[in-house]
Amino acid sequence: MRLIFLGPPGAGKGTQAQILRERFGAKQISTGDILRENRSNGTELGKLAENYMRGGVLVPDEVIVKMIEAELQQLQGGFIMDGFPRTVAQAQAFDALLHAQQTPLDAVVLFNADRDTLFTRLTARWTNPRTGRSYNTVTNPPRVPGIDDEDGSPLVQREDDKPETVRKRLDVYERQTAPLVEYYRASGKLVEVDALACVDDVTRELIRKVDALVHTAR
Ligand code: AP5
């Protein structure tokens, strides 16, 4: 399975990637998580990315593409790209990498949601920094506030989930990432899901549509 999850911040890409990763064993490659891990480890990449991420703007394409290239080199089997590509330049570079490896994409899943819902979801999100599992104090609260149901770790709120930064990230998506919808539609590999549905329904719709596309292509 080789998938891209495309959609605005807060649409549920990370939530669904985690579910599919556990169910099908494909590797979830979240550029945001890789950057955050580098930031906590104080690497050069982390230091470079820090100001961009804090401001809610994109890290430069060349940095991201190099990072993905390194990930692909270590990869065996399928992947779910969560948060990459985010610009047409990143998509073109990714196409070239996949072409060179002869590993074409199966599908690009577009998560559709409105801005007000995204804003509410992001400003109420709490995450386990160790596993990436995400909760929402409004729609999907943990059993004990601030504690992960699964492993008991303390949950944290992301710095870029402050209201003013969320607004900025949503603007950046519209300007720089939304053009990828037409880019991938033209490739015939785009499927769309209603990201406003509950988590289980989104998973069902996603699997059904990806399966249908893959079977038609065979
Ligand atoms: P990144 O970490 O990728 O953040 P994002 O794309 O902004 O996406 P999010 O993680 O915020 O949202 P999501 O769609 O995964 O939603 P989630 O499942 O968590 O990027 C952060 C930063 O890193 C960027 O701003 C940029 O600076 C940099 N960066 C990363 N990649 C880059 C790239 N390729 N190029 C350049 N820069 C890059 O869900 C959100 C909330 O909603 C959760 O609380 C969840 O529990 C809840 N929820 C999920 N699904 C549902 C549902 N169906 N119903 C109700 N609630 C739901």
Catalytic residue selected from 86, 121, 133, 189 = 86
What pLDDT does residue 154 have?
Answer: 96
Q: Which amino acid is at 85?
A: P
Closest CA to 125 of 13, 4, 30: 13
Q: Is the CB of 181 under 6 A from ligand 1?
A: no
217, pLDDT greater than 80: no
- What lies within 8 Å, CB to CB, of 170 at 6+ separation is 8, 9, 115, 118, 119
Average per-residue pLDDT in the chain? 94
Position 12 in a domain: yes
For residue 193, the enclosing domain spans 2-26+77-114+176-217
Confirm whether 190 is domain-assigned. Answer: yes
Phi then psi dihedrals of residue 175, to 5 deg: -80, -45
pLDDT (0 to 100) of residue 187: 93
> What pLDDT was estimated at residue 19?
94
**pLDDT interval class at 2 (50, 70, 90):** very high
Q: Is residue 92 part of a domain?
A: yes
* pLDDT attached to residue 216: 81
Q: Note the pLDDT tens digit of each residue in 51-94.
A: 999 999 999 999 999 999 999 999 988 999 999 999 999 999 99
Which atom belonging to ligand 1 lies closest to the Cα atom of 60? 36
Distance, in Å, from the CA atom of 181 to the CA atom of 160, rounded to the nearest integer, reads 24
In tens, the pLDDT along 78-87 reads 999 999 999 9
Residue 154 resides in a domain: no
Name the residue of 3, 4, 13, 34 to mutate for ligand 1: max ligand atoms within 8 A of Cβ: 13
The residue contributing the CA closest to ligand 1 atom 48 is 12
Question: Of 2, 27, 115, 158, which is the active-site residue?
Answer: 158
What's the pLDDT at 77?
87
CATH number reported for the structural domain that contains residue 10 in this entry: 3.40.50.300
Rounded distance between C-alpha atoms, residue 135 and residue 64, angstroms: 27
Q: Which of the two residues, 36 and 217, has the higher pLDDT score?
A: 36
Instruction: With respect to residue 10, please indicate whether it lies within any of the assigned structural domains.
Output: yes
Structural domain total, the chain: 1
Active site residue 125: yes
Whole-angstrom distance, CA of residue 51 vs CA of residue 42? 13
Asked if residue 211 is part of any domain, the answer here is yes
- pTM comes to 0.93
pLDDT digits (tens, 9 = 90+) for 97-112: 999 999 999 999 999 9
Q: How confident is the model at residue 25, as a pLDDT?
A: 87
Active site residue 189: no
Closest protein CA for atom 8 of ligand 1:
9
